[in-house]
A and B are shown apart, each in its own frame.
Chain A
Amino acid sequence: MPSTSIIAQGTVVRGNIRGSGSIEIRGRVHGDVEVDGDVALGEQGGVEGNIRGAQLVIAGQVAGDLQGAEAVLLERGARVVGDLTAPRIGVAEGALVRGRVRTEGEPAAPRRAAVAAVRRVPEPVRLERPAPPPVAPAPVPAKAAAAPAPVAAAPAPASPERKKAPDTRSADRPPAPVVPALGKSVRGKKKKVSRA
């Protein structure tokens, strides 16, 4: 309770709101809202100012920029005039936006992978998924012989952790060159080379 704040419907704040915890705004705020928790703006809520938080779920009106450390989600009925910036951005049908939208920043790794799968070209992602299993067993025998095999490859054999392995790679940029290199014929050769 204490870490969740509520600006009720009928409540008007003229000034800035900042601090820790999450906040739910059903009233009106004329000023900036800056918290380290989540921000929920209700259908009847309105903010004239910038909003910063971890995850912003907007169903009301905003005249200002929205910046989410994790995500900005605009629900049906949301009306936003301002820029959206977050690693994950969702705009539901029926939401109105006027401003620039940028998906950027570093969220939790698995979430980013999910966004990439949805938003960017789906094909390279499909190539990446089948790729790890053959690659993963390879380092294991290689490890027995050569000690300094990549640490990231070691946990790969476990099925749930396969997904994590590509994430760490994507964070390090390598996948970009790997994906175009993975032509059907090239791919086989590459594996053999890496094994040797």
Chain B
Amino acid sequence: MAGSVIGEGLTIEGELTADEEVAVHGTVRGVLTTSGPVHIAAGGVVEADVSASSLTIGGQVTGNATARDRVDIQAGGRLIGDVKASRLTIADGASFKGSVDMDV
């Protein structure tokens, strides 16, 4: 895995910009932007607007999620914010509060 990893217990407060995959096991507050995919693991916390090629949410996200490709909210995942993506899946057991814009 060549991308960035925000480990468990680590907190980034500010703006994170990447051109590769970003995996969040810890906490990001601010803005998270990457041209690659973003994985928010169970236990990961993102209080930021997220922009990525794809977004997988297994943890908690508070903020707007924008993905060029898709957004997947996994069971146990939690999203409070709006989603803008062409494809969206919400697994059984996921929490989501917000509106969806699928470029229809």
- Footprint of B on A, CB under 8 Å? 1-8, 10-23, 27, 31, 35
Contacts and interface: CB of A to CB of B under 8 A. Distances in A.
B10 A19 contact: yes
Nearest to B1: A6
**Interface on chain A toward B: helix, strand, loop, or mixed SS?**
strand
Interface stretch (B17-25, B50-58, B73-81, B84-92): B17-25
B8 A21 contact: yes
B7 A4 contact: yes
Interface residues of B, number: 27
Contacts of A18: 10-11, 13
A13 B10 contact: no
A13 B9 contact: no
Contact of B9 (A8, A12, A21): A21
B104 interface: no
17 contacts: A2-B8, A2-B26, A4-B7, A6-B4, A8-B18, A10-B18, A10-B20, A11-B4, A11-B16, A12-B18, A13-B16, A15-B14, A15-B30, A16-B13, A17-B11, A17-B12, A19-B7
**Interface on chain B toward A: helix, strand, loop, or mixed SS?**
strand
B3 interface: yes
A18 B22 CA distance: 17
Contacts of B15: 12-15
Interface of B: 2-20, 22, 25-27, 30, 34, 41, 43
A10 B17 CA distance: 8
A12 B16 contact: yes
A35 B4 contact: no
Contact of B5 (A4, A12, A15): A4
Contacts of B6: 5
A11 B13 contact: no
A36 to B, nearest CB: 9
B17 to A, nearest CB: 4
Contacts of A21: 7-10
